[in-house]
């Protein structure tokens, strides 16, 4: 070091010393280590471990639910459909949901299909016929219940096409004739199929489309005489996730499923944080009393977090719960706990780009909906649920009983009002829907009538499929449901 540099360093040190002497010592510093006794340190260490266990539980819940639904799919199709192996093929619903449907919040808009694929056995090809006059969608869902891709009227239009579905380990080029490649982030995925029907007379048209859809292993697509291996359903049915009775049993199954379906690389730091307490791919739950206690406390706190989000995560306006735009997809605020709550509340939740669901638990004044009252839902011309232009998008309104969230039988056998119905609009372009137990006295209002369920209370759901930017971006709010004064009955 030169003499000049030495002098410069001494000068800087002298100036810093004078500044330090002139200013009072700060009361806070990021470099300060707070005084603490060992007992307090051990308590904080345990609290941190419980928080990691809570986060691990929240991360594991969707994977466990995917494992659980895979088990139900295999068990039910083998038991009731009498098939030897259900994997790699669609099982479709041929009739609309009704009062006998046991599913929560069923719709009367689309006929469904579903399958599970193990992409370790190789790629599949989904062949979709031309669907020119209606909304359709195939939702691709990974082992953590995230929507990761779609083949739909929104993404691919009405033309026929063949789509190659590949797993995370696949490398190669798509064969000739493939329209595009669907890249799955996990080994196991499921696919939901939805095709819109307008009314009972339209169902036969949907059946023809269902019968035209093909799902084949790539080897069979290339050579019709080829025989492709499939996963053994006996292995899937070995452990019954429906029988879990405590968090340890659930997390043991979830750990194994996450090991089979490793999380994406971008989640690695997050996953490593809770692997330290025994949750995650390749992890083993602790057997010692202290470790077990941390897991149980974390699970308890996670369930409280889910309950809190269930009540507070969604904004309510005019009586409607407004869905968040980041539900069902990776990322977003409170991503891990919100996704866990979403899948418990509405398993397989769709992405806003495809469909948005508004749930009304009350009227616009916050009062419960009851079949003894009459209600109107009036959409001004600029409030009618907006769907994307030049698309087969549509909207629908249904009512469910507030306990089971299902349809209740009525004499009219009517459970939905759709935008595709022959609705009666007011002269100014507005639309008034009537929600009540008995049909309106004026027969001209019958197309706009939604029968109220004959239960102590009911709720309503507005669905918008392929909505425009206002819907997709969370800027649309339905108008409030207004109770008709009894003096006007």
Q: Are residues 343 and 440 in the same domain?
A: yes
Q: Is the pLDDT of residue 80 over 80?
A: yes
Residue, of 20 and 378, whose pLDDT is higher: 378
Q: Is residue 130 part of a domain?
A: yes
Q: What is the mean pLDDT of residues 4-8?
A: 54
What length is written for the chain? Answer: 489
Confidence of residue 93 (pLDDT cuts 50, 70, 90): very high
Q: Angle at Cα 98 formed by Cα 94 and Cα 101, nearest 5°?
A: 85
Q: Is the pLDDT of residue 3 over 80?
A: no
- Condensed to tens digits (0 to 9), the pLDDT of residues 296-306 reads 999 999 999 99
Q: What is the mean pLDDT of residues 6-16?
A: 54
User: What is the per-residue pLDDT for 330?
Assistant: 86
Confidence of residue 9 (pLDDT cuts 50, 70, 90): low
Q: What is the mean pLDDT of residues 64-70?
A: 97
- Condensed to tens digits (0 to 9), the pLDDT of residues 131-180 reads 999 999 999 999 999 999 999 999 999 999 999 999 999 998 999 999 99
The answer to whether the Cα torsion of 119, 121, 122, 128 is positive or negative is negative
* pTM for this model (two decimals): 0.90
Residue 161: what are its φ and ψ, rounded to 5°? -170, 155
Query: Which pair of structure tokens corresponds to residue 43?
Result: 């308590």
Report how many domains make up the chain: 2
Q: Are residues 469 and 324 in the same domain?
A: yes
Residue, of 449 and 404, whose pLDDT is higher: 449
What domain range is 164 assigned to?
Answer: 86-231
Residues 12, 5: Cα–Cα separation, whole Å: 11
User: What is the per-residue pLDDT for 1?
Assistant: 52
Q: Is residue 286 part of a domain?
A: no
Q: Is residue 281 part of a domain?
A: no
Under a CB-based contact definition with an 8 Å cutoff, are residues 117 and 160 in contact?
Answer: no
User: What is the per-residue pLDDT for 10?
Assistant: 57
Last residue within a domain, chosen from 231, 266, 292: 231
Residue 78: what are its φ and ψ, rounded to 5°? -70, -40
CA-atom Rg of the chain in angstroms: 28
Q: Is the pLDDT of residue 248 over 70?
A: yes
Range with the lowest mean pLDDT among 12-16, 223-227, 266-270, 343-347? 12-16
Residue 329: CATH number of its domain: 2.60.120.600
Range with the lowest mean pLDDT among 26-40, 209-223, 267-281, 341-355? 26-40
Q: Are residues 346 and 481 in the same domain?
A: yes
DSSP at 228 = -
Alpha carbon separation from 451 to 69, 107, 117, 156, 482 (Å, rounded): 33, 15, 40, 36, 15
Last residue within a domain, chosen from 231, 248, 276: 231
Q: Are residues 320 and 448 in the same domain?
A: yes
Q: Is residue 289 part of a domain?
A: no
Q: Is residue 305 part of a domain?
A: no
Q: Is residue 277 part of a domain?
A: no
Confidence of residue 485 (pLDDT cuts 50, 70, 90): confident
Range with the lowest mean pLDDT among 6-10, 137-141, 335-339, 379-383? 6-10
Residue, of 331 and 417, whose pLDDT is higher: 417
Q: What is the mean pLDDT of residues 200-220?
A: 97
Q: Is residue 108 part of a domain?
A: yes
User: What is the per-residue pLDDT for 89?
Assistant: 95
Q: Is residue 271 part of a domain?
A: no
Residues 184, 395: Cα–Cα separation, whole Å: 30
User: What is the per-residue pLDDT for 470?
Assistant: 95
Q: Which residues contact 460 (CB under 8 A, 6 or more apart)?
A: 359, 360, 369, 377, 397, 398, 399, 400, 435, 481
């Amino acid at each position: 070091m030169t003499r000049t540099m030495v002098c410069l360093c001494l000068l800087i040190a002298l100036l810093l010393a004078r500044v330090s002497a002139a200013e009072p010592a700060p009361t806070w510093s990021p470099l300060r280590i707070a005084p603490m006794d060992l007992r307090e340190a051990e308590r904080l260490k345990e609290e941190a471990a419980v928080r990691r266990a809570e986060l691990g539980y929240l991360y594991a819940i969707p994977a466990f639910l995917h494992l659980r639904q895979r088990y139900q799919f295999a068990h039910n199709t083998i038991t009731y459909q009498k098939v030897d192996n259900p994997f790699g093929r669609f099982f479709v619903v041929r009739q609309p949901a009704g009062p006998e449907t046991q599913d929560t919040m069923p719709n009367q808009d689309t006929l469904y299909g579903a399958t599970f694929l193990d992409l370790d056995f190789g790629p599949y090809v989904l062949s979709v016929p031309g669907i020119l006059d209606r909304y359709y969608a195939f939702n691709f869902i990974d082992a953590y219940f995230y929507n990761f891709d779609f083949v739909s009227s929104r993404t691919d239009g009405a033309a026929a096409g063949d789509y190659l579905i590949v797993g995370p380990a696949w490398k190669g080029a798509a064969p000739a004739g493939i329209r595009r490649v669907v890249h799955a982030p996990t080994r196991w995925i499921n696919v939901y199929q939805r095709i819109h029907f307008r009314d009972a007379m339209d169902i036969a048209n949907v059946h023809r489309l269902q019968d035209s859809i093909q799902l084949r292993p790539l080897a069979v697509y290339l050579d019709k005489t080829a025989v492709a291996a499939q996963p053994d359903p006996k292995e899937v049915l070995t452990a019954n996730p429906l029988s879990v009775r405590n968090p340890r049993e659930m997390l043991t199954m979830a750990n194994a499923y996450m090991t089979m379906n490793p999380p994406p690389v971008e989640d690695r730091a997050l996953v490593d944080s809770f692997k330290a307490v025994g949750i995650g791919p390749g992890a083993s739950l602790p057997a010692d009393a202290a470790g077990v206690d941390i897991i149980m406390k974390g699970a308890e706190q996670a369930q409280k977090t889910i309950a809190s989000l269930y009540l507070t995560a969604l904004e309510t306006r005019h009586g409607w719960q407004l869905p968040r735009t980041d539900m069902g997809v990776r990322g977003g605020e409170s991503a891990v706990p919100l996704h866990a709550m979403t899948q418990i509340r509405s398993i397989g939740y769709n992405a806003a780009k495809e469909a948005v669901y508004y749930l009304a638990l009350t009227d616009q004044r916050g009062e419960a909906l009851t079949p003894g009252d009459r209600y109107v839902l009036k959409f001004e011309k600029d409030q009618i649920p907006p769907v994307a232009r030049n698309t087969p998008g549509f909207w629908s309104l249904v009512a469910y009983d507030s306990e089971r969230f299902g349809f209740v039988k009525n004499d009219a056998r009517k459970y939905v009002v759709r935008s595709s119905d022959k609705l009666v609009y007011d002269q100014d372009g507005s639309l008034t829907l009537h929600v009540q137990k008995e049909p309106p006295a004026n027969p001209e209002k019958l197309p706009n009538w939604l029968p109220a369920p004959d239960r102590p209370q009911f709720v309503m759901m507005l669905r918008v499929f392929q909505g425009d930017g206002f819907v997709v971006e969370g800027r649309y709010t339905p108008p409030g449901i207004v109770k008709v004064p009894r003096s006007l009955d």
